[in-house]
């Protein structure tokens, strides 16, 4: 008896894991936290790639925000190719202000300058990830990519999203669902 993999209707609060044969270099070996997914499309943030051109202290300086004790520890991530000049903070839901979207399972998203000020002085959320840009899909586009064997999905957890091992996050996400890299095939329906 064959078993089928059930894909949740909508993937808000899940992680997308790029399959090894991903052709788009912007998403190669990427892990994406899905902030929103509905009949109008999907929006997510790449959580395992750094944005090399800008540091957090540089960003704060550009925005005329005073730096604090945690400023140097925060890395700026490449959130995706859409609106790459726009900043988003994916964070634990212990910080909720005007403009914060509670996503799911302990995660929230804030895109205001206030959260950057709070983080800079050590008053922000327990866990946070600053990203420039986002990944976006039109209606039905993400579902088509999943069916075409472009992505695997798993429920998100804080360790995978905010953990220290940025380089190993893709492998760790695959391992969480019991997939070994060498066992993956680029052909739909084959493991």
Domain boundaries, the chain: 14-183
**Which pLDDT value is given to residue 122?**
84
The pLDDT score that the predictor gives to residue 102 is 93
Q: Are 43 and 134 in contact (CB under 8 A)?
A: yes
Q: What's the whole-model pTM score?
A: 0.86
Q: What is the pLDDT of residues 154-167, one digit of tens each?
A: 999 999 999 878 88
Find all residues with CB under 8 Å of 65, minimum gap 6, and list them.
Answer: 113, 116, 117, 120
Q: What is the pLDDT of residues 65-95, one digit of tens each?
A: 877 666 556 788 999 999 988 999 999 999 9
Q: How far apart are CA 43 and CA 37, in angstroms?
A: 6
Intervals of the chain under pLDDT 50 = 1-6, 187-191
pLDDT at 189: 45
In CATH terms, 14-183 corresponds, of 2.160.10.10, 3.10.20.30, 3.40.50.720, 3.40.1740.10, to: 3.40.1740.10
If we measure between CA atoms, which residue out of 122, 153, 179, 119 comes closest to residue 31?
A: 153
**Distance (Å) of CA 150 to CA 20, 40, 51, 143:** 8, 20, 23, 10
Give the model's pLDDT for residue 188: 46
């Amino acid at each position: 008896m064959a078993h089928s993999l059930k894909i949740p209707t909508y993937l808000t609060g899940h992680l997308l894991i790029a399959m090894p044969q991903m052709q788009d270099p912007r998403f190669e070996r990427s892990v994406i936290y899905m902030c929103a997914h509905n009949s109008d499309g999907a929006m997510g943030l790449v959580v395992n790639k750094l944005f090399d051109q800008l540091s957090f202290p540089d960003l704060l300086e550009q925005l005329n925000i005073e730096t604090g004790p945690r400023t140097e520890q925060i890395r700026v991530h490449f959130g995706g190719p859409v609106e790459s000049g726009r900043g988003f903070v994916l964070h634990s839901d212990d910080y909720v202000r005007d403009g914060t979207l509670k996503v799911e399972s302990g995660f929230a998203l804030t895109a205001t300058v206030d959260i950057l000020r709070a983080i800079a002085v050590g008053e922000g959320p327990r866990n946070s990830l600053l990203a420039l840009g986002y990944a976006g899909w039109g209606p039905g586009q993400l579902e088509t990519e999943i069916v075409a064997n472009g992505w695997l999905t798993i429920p998100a957890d804080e360790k995978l999203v905010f953990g220290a091992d940025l380089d190993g996050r893709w492998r760790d996400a695959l391992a969480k669902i019991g997939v070994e890299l060498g066992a993956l095939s680029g052909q739909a329906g084959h493991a």
